[in-house]
Structure 1
Amino acid sequence: MTYSRAGRAAEQAEPEEERERRAAWEALVATARRTVTDGLVVGTSGNVSVRVGDTVLVTPSGVPYDRLAPEDVTGVDLDGRQVLGTLVPTSELPMHLAVYRATDARAVVHTHAVHATAVSLLVPELPPVHYMTAALGGPVRVAPYAAYGTEELARHVLDALAGRTGCLLQNHGTLTYGTCLDQAYDRTAQLEWMCRLWLTASSVPGRSPSLLTGEQLAEVAERLGEYGQRP
């Protein structure tokens, strides 16, 4: 792609904060579209947010993700006051803001993933059927049901997230957070996969899935700290 001299000059003159915000919005839209492509949400259900400084960019309410454009950027401060855009923020804003205020989250992904939601109907906690349980801080709890978009639901979610980076929402879906959108999304995908694994194993007549112990999860948590490439 080539740029005119005027275009390059305009880009260079753009404040660093604005460039960061624009890049974050592009990444947020891409992540939101991915939740649909990967079957974690249907239509405009679920929502995604990312924190840039003291501003939280969020998906707007009721707008199909494939229609979101750069000029649709929607942002609020940590008190929920809209500071960017004119579209109404997601109805789940209280839940997102509660997570940002209580944790070190820089990105939050909320979905209505089928297998995870099914598990939320059956048990108060996803049994530790796989070592990736440790990547979410331990066995994933189910936040008790409350109406969507309410402060009550936000409180339930924070309780379920204590010591965790993800939880299930009873009769509703999932929420995960991370230091970036990629990490938050990966945790959502891992959570959905583990829920599918547990449901599959539990469906075998006369058999019960073997579960990992606390000691085994602790060992994995230590190993995960050394996983991946080093700078």
Structure 2
Amino acid sequence: MLLEQERRDVCLTARAIAQHPGTAPGEAGSVSVRSGDLVVVTPHGLPLDQIQPQDCPVMSLDDRMLEGRRDPAAETTLHMAVHRHAADHGRESLALVNAFTTDTTAVSSVLPELPPIHHRAAGLGGAISVTPYMPYGTGDIADQAVKALKGRDAALLANHGGLALGRNLEHAMENFRLLDWLCTTYLRARWVGQPRVLSEDELAEARQRDNYGWAGPDPFLY
């Protein structure tokens, strides 16, 4: 079986999405991971917590299905566009998590972007873009997702949900959880008033502190 371990990892990640609080029932998103020139994606027509490794299609970067006992998920067009863009720009491996949670869908239905109101937003690239609304499974939404992810590890798809990237599926799921938490935090802050948005300088400082830890840069190196 092609990419057996990657197919198992896709199933585990799909189950993690299904168990994530606020996730829509049934086909609540899609998952993919690239290894070289091959991509494993979630299949069409199955709830995320029922997918088996043999169900998962293996695709080539030119959209040919090479193996799998079910057709690819409708969002595969989006996944493949992001994987091709990453491969063209020298990114050796990449994983994507796309999920429909209450708060990512709520924010994506109202805002043009998710402002960074917590320093953890720096880890995803800062403000998170919301794509224009496009029907799912189309080339249009795929093109918009590629644009929204420029310089970012997450995006929101209007009236649809969230999308997060990672160097592997564990990292992509971690980034999606962070995206969902940032959406929840923003929505709760709006109940109280107008949230304070961090500036680019403040986000840059947060990234620098992430690099050095609690003590900051070593003064003896300068």
Confirm whether residue 26 of structure 1 aligns to residue 8 of structure 2.
yes
Work out the number of aligned pairs and report it. 208
CA distance in 2, matches of 1:153, 1:45: 17
List aligned pairs for 1:1-231, cutoff 5 A: 21-39=3-21, 40-103=23-86, 104=91, 106-204=94-192, 207-226=193-212
What's the CA shift string for 1:30-59, capped at 9, x where partnerless? 100110111334211200011122110011
CA distance in 2, matches of 1:119, 1:172: 10
CA distance in 2, matches of 1:121, 1:170: 6
Q: 1:41 to 1:225 in 2, by over 3 A?
A: farther
CA distance in 1, matches of 2:56, 2:28: 18
Q: Read off the aligned partner of 1:25 and give its amino acid letter.
A: R
Q: Read off the aligned partner of 2:202 and give its amino acid letter.
A: Q
How does the TM-score come out when normalised to structure 1? 0.85
Runs of 4+ in 1 over 4 A off after TM superposition: none
Unaligned stretches of 5+ residues in structure 2: 214-222
Percent of residue pairs identical = 38
Instruction: Give the structure with higher Rg (CA).
Output: 1
What's the CA shift string for 1:188-218, capped at 9, x where partnerless? 10011011001001012xx311121110101
State the superposition RMSD in angstroms: 1.7
Contact 1:35 1:41 in 2 (8 A): no
Aligned with 1:106: secondary structure?
strand
Contact 1:80 1:93 in 2 (8 A): no
How does the TM-score come out when normalised to structure 2? 0.88
Unaligned stretches of 5+ residues in structure 1: 1-16
Counterpart in the other structure of 1:9: none
Counterpart in the other structure of 1:8: none
CA distance in 2, matches of 1:157, 1:224: 27
